[in-house]
Structures are given as structure tokens and as C-alpha cells.
Amino acid sequence: MKKVWVYLENGIFLEARSFGAEGTRTGEIVFNTSMTGYQEIVSDPSYAGQFITFTMPEIGNVGTNADDMESAGAYAKGIIVRNYQKRYSNFRAQSSLEDFLKRFDIMGITDIDTRFLTKVLREEGSMMMIASTEISDAGELKKILSQSPRIEEINYIKEVSTKKSYLHKSATYDAKEFCYKAPPKPKAKIIAIDFGVKRNILNNLTQAGLEVEVVPHNFKAEDLIEKYEKGEIDGVFLSNGPGDPLLLKDEHKEIKKLIDAKIPMFAICLGHQLLSISHGYPTFKLKFGHHGGNHPVKNVKTGRVEITAQNHNYNVPENIKEVAEVTHMNLFDNTIEGLKYKNSPIFSVQHHPEASPGPHESAYVFEEFAKAVVECKKNRSI
């Protein structure tokens, strides 16, 4: 393994070893507390522009495979692990994590104290960093980092979103019968706006009985409203995605038009934040964000606590309660995790119900969306 040098914007300078792509990269460093699922995490488009520090110390043990991809590519700047296991063992594995990272041009950094890094981020918050297999001088790395754009200044949506529309077809693996099963016959059709959508979100939408057409981020609201009025579509889904939602000015305007048209909508993560902004309530950045598969969220309506997967640095403000009812709360820091907008067929969640950490405690939201869409469809036909 080659040496790699890491410089954080707070002045910390570390030496480690590289096992992925080589070169010099800048990005935002965050930590993820998930115990499993490293391939799904790295292939989540929401991590575009970030270095992911895994708190799980052993990474690479089960290799990688095509079925566990959450998107067509992987967009993280790099991953940071305590111990990388080059020798993998799993009957589903097709390649090593090292080969996976090199294929998608992602840096891999190992032999580093991830506990120390996590404590730094916990105390000081997420920050920018630079990693290089070429430059060992801390002063030069500091200079390059200071001259590089910050993650909140970069629109990664253009990179991760689909370039053309397509119908999503899915099959779900039945672990009991060891086979894939086709989704049920659709009861309604929706448009999924791709800001960096995860494949399993689309799978869950189809499994809930919805026909899903995925469209690029630069959609035109007038087109969707016209299709809705003609009965060609019955609802809209706003996906997850990377970066600062306040940067997406064009998307705010188009979503506002969909809101005014009272089209049934459901949103996850970035989509949840965009709905808040489009209603006139700007988001704010959390200190170190929520990244992991063990975050307790309380369903305010039922009182049940759901174990959820999270991946976001931004959150909706408290005064959103002026136009929406809070449906879910994060029990770690009491931030808002779910909303149902007043006098509108629109709701959203901040966490990732498709990631199955509970494993299925939050999956009901897809069924609720399908039910709402079908109900609105029936009312419109009367």
C-alpha cells in the first residue's frame, strides 16, 4: 500500500496508507456509525463530495457485488477505515472493496485512528479535508485545501441525477424462498424526481404498488402538472441526494409550483428538505450530521420508536410547524424527522425507511404514500 497524507481544515495532519484510487482529493469529512452495509453506503449518491469515516473498525470482509449497489455508480471522494481486509469471504462477493474503489475512482484510506477522527468531528463538527498519495507537505496541502471550493458551494445533483427519464423495474429477493419476486401490479403511476435516488427506494415504491417513472433533477413543473391534470400520473416523489439544499434555486421554484397545484407528494431526505425550503422555511446545517444505521426516531402519532438509517447534514427548522404537522422526531437530538403538510396531500421523512435497519420498522411510509395516491386518484375520477 502507498502512503497517503491527510490534512483537516482544523490543522490536523496525519499519515496513513492507501488502498483505493490514487491522487489528491478535497471533500467534506463525516463519520458513519453503521455496523454493516459499507457497499450500500459508498454507492449512495448522497455521499457525493464527502470522505466517509467508518466507525466499524473492520471493513472489506465481505467484498462487493453488483446486487448491493444503490446506484449505477459511486460518488464519494473517499472512505477512511481503521483496518482494511483485502482478503474477503462471502458467497455473494464478486470483487474486493479495493477493486470497487478503484473502478469508481474513490480513495481508500486505512491504518488510521478512526476513533480519534470521529471524536474530532463530534466535538468540532464536519469539516473540509484533503487527502493525497502525491503530496506529503502539510503546508502545501493546507494551501490547496484553502483554495478549493467547499461542499456547500458545489452542485453535485447535476453529477448524480439521471440524464434521461426511464421506467424503474424491480424484483425483490425473498430470503425464505431464495428467489426474486416481481412487484405487484401497479395501482397508480408516479414520477420520481432523481436528485441522487437510491435504487432500493425505487424498489420499495414499486413494491407498494406504484408504477415509477424516474426523471432528471432539471424537470419542469408545468409538464408534470399537465400530466397530472390529464390523469397520466397520480403523484410525485422527491428523492434523496447530496449537498446543500439551499443551493438548488431552480428546483425550489419548480417544487413550489407542484405544491401550489396540490399534487400528492412524498419525499425522503434531500427531498424532505427541499419541500421545507419551497414552503418558505430554509434549512440549517447540523454540527456533524446524522450518518448511520442505529438512530432512534419516534413516530409521534403511534408513540412507537423506530430504529432508522440516516444520512444528512441539513435539517428543517422548528418554525415549519406553522404549515406542517410533525410526524416523527429524532430521539438523539430532538430534530424533526417527518412532516405532514396542512391542507395538502404532501408528507416527507428525513430518515431512510428503505435501508431496513429496523429492519422494516419504517417501511410503512411507502404503503402510506401509495394509499394516499390511490385515494386522490379515486376522488379525482368521481
How far apart, in Å, are the Cα atoms of 244 and each of 35, 42, 82? 26, 19, 29
Indicate which residue of 217, 269, 290, 337 is catalytic: 269
Q: Is 143 helix (H, G, I), strand (E, B) or coil?
A: helix
Catalytic residue list contains 354: yes
Catalytic residue list contains 352: yes
Kindly report the backbone phi and psi dihedral angles of residue 288, in degrees, each rounded to the nearest multiple of 5, phi listed first: -130, 10
Q: Is 341 helix (H, G, I), strand (E, B) or coil?
A: strand
Edge-to-edge, what's the strand order for the sheet holding 324-330?
A: 166-167, 210-215, 188-193, 235-238, 265-268, 346-349, 336-341, 324-330, 284-299, 305-315
Kindly report the backbone phi and psi dihedral angles of residue 248, in degrees, each rounded to the nearest multiple of 5, phi listed first: -90, 65
Residue 167, Cβ neighbours under 10 Å: how many?
A: 10
- For residues 340 and 114, what is the distance between their CA atoms, to the nearest angstrom? 38
**DSSP element (H, E) containing 22:** none
Those residues whose C-beta lies under 8 Å from the C-beta of residue 256, and which sit 6 or more positions away, are 278, 279
Residue 253, Cβ neighbours under 10 Å: how many?
A: 11
Cβ–Cβ under 8 Å, residues 232 and 263:
no
Cβ–Cβ under 8 Å, residues 344 and 195:
no
Q: Where are the beta strands (DSSP E) in 44-89?
A: 50-54, 58-59, 78-80, 83-84
Indicate which residue of 252, 291, 295, 352 is catalytic: 352
Indicate which residue of 251, 306, 337, 354 is catalytic: 354
Q: Closest by alpha carbon to 365, among 321, 312, 280, 308?
A: 308
Kindly report the backbone phi and psi dihedral angles of residue 3, in degrees, each rounded to the nearest multiple of 5, phi listed first: -75, 150
Work out the end-to-end distance of the chain between its first and last CA atoms, rounded to an integer number of angstroms.
67
- For residues 215 and 223, what is the distance between their CA atoms, to the nearest angstrom? 11
Question: Among all residues, which ones are annotated catalytic?
Answer: 269, 352, 354
